[in-house]
Structure 1
């Protein structure tokens, strides 16, 4: 009698497990955001866990975005090992389901790195690709985001 219920619940549990992976204790690196609902869910998760959410706004055709993504992920992982925990998600704005998000958060160029803390956008954002590729600048920026609590 319990087996049919578990079988119905399993696909949901598998999809939830697939939506993020743990790269360090309590650190979350999420799959790319492809809808407004997904971003709202991540904002609620980061708020409930009291973790800033770092977002990389990108497009599939953006070469700089492909270069910056692994660098930002690596820095977020390094900061986690040092005790500063964040969530990280990439938001692909070249999809029709996310185009409204770009205007909602005033994303005028890509790549843009934007931080959320407690559900609110932090005022400092990185829009210059040269700064986004500078590991030292990004590390200082992440520290500022962590202390903006």
Structure 2
């Protein structure tokens, strides 16, 4: 299983907003148990969908300005960006099948 790429305030614009394919951002923190629980699911999705989707993680405690900009109030928060725009977000961990369905629905409406 691959390690998720980390982004921060120095590369968020380039990696997420400037990406040529959709990017799912996992806003997380070290102290958050559900954040740790969802990592294996996100790693599987990153591997299975690597040709169509990037999955990255952003530590909210270490990058408060980005978390504030996108009004992240609870963790984990997942946000899907496409062509530099936020197109979908959800708070809380979910089972893989449900998360994939929600992602696919969001991507279909964004095209």
Q: Under a length normalisation based on structure 1, what TM-score does the superposition of the two structures give?
A: 0.65
- Counterpart selection for 2:68 from 103, 106, 113: 103
Structure 1: state its 5+ residue gaps: 1-22, 24-28
RMSD: 1.9
The answer to whether structure 1 residue 144 and structure 2 residue 100 are counterparts is no
Query: Which structure 1 residue ranges, 4+ long, deviate > 4 Å from structure 2?
Result: none
The answer to whether the 8 A contact 2:17-2:81 is kept is: no
The answer to whether the 8 A contact 2:77-2:90 is kept is: yes
1:76 to partner: Cα distance: 3.1
* Equivalent residue number for residue 14 of structure 2: 41
Count, aligned residues: 109
Larger RCO, structure (CA 8 Å, separation 6 or more):
2
Distance 1:139 1:62 in 2: 22
Structure 2: state its 5+ residue gaps: none
- Computing the radius of gyration over CA atoms, which structure comes out larger, 1 or 2? 1
Structure with the higher fraction of residues in helix conformation: 1
